[in-house]
Amino acid sequence: MIPTRGYAQQLDREDELAGYREAFYNTDPDLVYMDGNSLGRLPLRTIERMQHVIQDQWGTALIRSWGENWFDAATRVGDKIAPLVGASSGEVAVSDSTTVNLYKLVMAALMLRPERQKIVTDVFNFPSDLYVLQGCNHVLKDRYQIHLMPSKDDMTVDMETVFAEIDEDTALVTLSHVVFKSGFMYDAAAVTRYAHEKGALVLWDLSHSAGSVPVALDEWGADFAVGCTYKYLNGGPGAPAFLYVNKALQSSALSPIWGWFGDNKPFAFDLTYQPAENIRRFITGTTSVLSVLAMESGVELLAEVGMERLRKKSIALTSYMIELVDEVLTPYGFKVGTPRDPAMRGSHVSIRHPEGYRINRALIEEMNVIPDFREPDNLRLGLAPLYTSFEDVWQTVERIRIVMSEERYLHYPATRAAVT
């Protein structure tokens, strides 16, 4: 590997996805955006679509648009997400936030295994996921034991640990497919298969997977899944999340939150709830129409490219980043905090440094690089294959080198801001 800008530019010339960078809104060519794992860029198609939605559907058609375009938006867009996560038509719906969807599916799963008393997750799960588990357990009078699988290397969880933790008393196994700090990716098929052998249900959080790595929910035999749409799906800030329920469970699993959009005949206005016999039973209230339709363009763009091509470039980008960090940044005290085996990582790379927070501030304030920081020392670099270039990777490492060689990070306090 040659750590020069010219080499990075050569890789970009050879990149079959390079043209898709022009599909996104960008007013600052010098900006190096390394936070697509937190918020994706704005697709130009979204601007065009939303002008039509606001002017024609809302402005002109008014309430007629509910019957013409809006009522089935949650399931129509869900069906477009489905191929990106290896699901079938009718298994995915867009609704609420990831946290709310997780609550609905955790409660549904636990109601299907009332005789069991154990929930298995890990120390890497996103805190909100753990809060949901704790909240569900509180509502259910603390009848469950929540087991957090440990890590031996502060980066991964090995399969021996997984196999040792899941047993015949396990009601639910719920994990992030790609974990938010290190980018470690579980062998989801193996975890799901073993959990099912023990009679447990499995719920995957795909927030760092959907749109970045191939996902095969049906093939894995997954029972439930949730995921956000504002990261690699480029759905926009606060975009509604999605949920997946395997068709085999849709007639028996029941949402704990009942609302009229989940009713079998919502416009009959019956006074007694009758859940829909399909994925709609997990939709609760009125669809956030503008937000759901805004995400549709980003989803279509990913479907057009295909997950296999995206994954190929993701591996190339993350491998190049790790090689550059090893060669250029190791002398400054950086350590790679992401698995080196491509089969064990998603599309973001974590690099660790005791001064990670202040380095992050210096990059944003002085170097026109936007990464993000996660406690205690993780500088996360999100490599979104559709719009991240190899030169972006080179520029990121080069600008970090400048921050370190000139000690620019010392200009910033170690006190954390409210949002990092």
Residues known to be catalytic: 126, 205, 230-231, 380
Helices (H), 178-274: 188-197, 217-220
pTM of the model: 0.97
Residue 376 has pLDDT above 80, yes or no: yes
DSSP string for residues in 256-316? SS--GGGBSSGGG--SS--B-SSGGGG--S---HHHHHHHHHHHHHHHHH-HHHHHHHHHH
Please tell me the predicted confidence (pLDDT) of residue 260: 94
Residue 357 has pLDDT above 90, yes or no: yes
Please tell me the predicted confidence (pLDDT) of residue 1: 60
Please tell me the predicted confidence (pLDDT) of residue 403: 98
Please tell me the predicted confidence (pLDDT) of residue 3: 79
Please tell me the predicted confidence (pLDDT) of residue 59: 98
71-304 matches 5-44+306-411 in CATH topology: no
Overall CATH class of domain 5-44+306-411: alpha beta
**pLDDT tier at 2 (50, 70, 90 boundaries)?**
low
CA pair distance 38, 157, nearest whole angstrom: 23
Tens of pLDDT, residues 51-106:
999 999 999 999 999 999 999 999 999 999 999 999 999 999 999 999 999 999 99
Fold of 71-304: Aspartate Aminotransferase; domain 2 (3.40.640)
Instruction: Report the candidate in 224, 244, 200 with the shortest Cα–Cα distance to residue 106.
Output: 224
For the chain, the structural domain boundaries read 5-44+306-411, 71-304
Q: What is the mean pLDDT of the chain?
A: 97
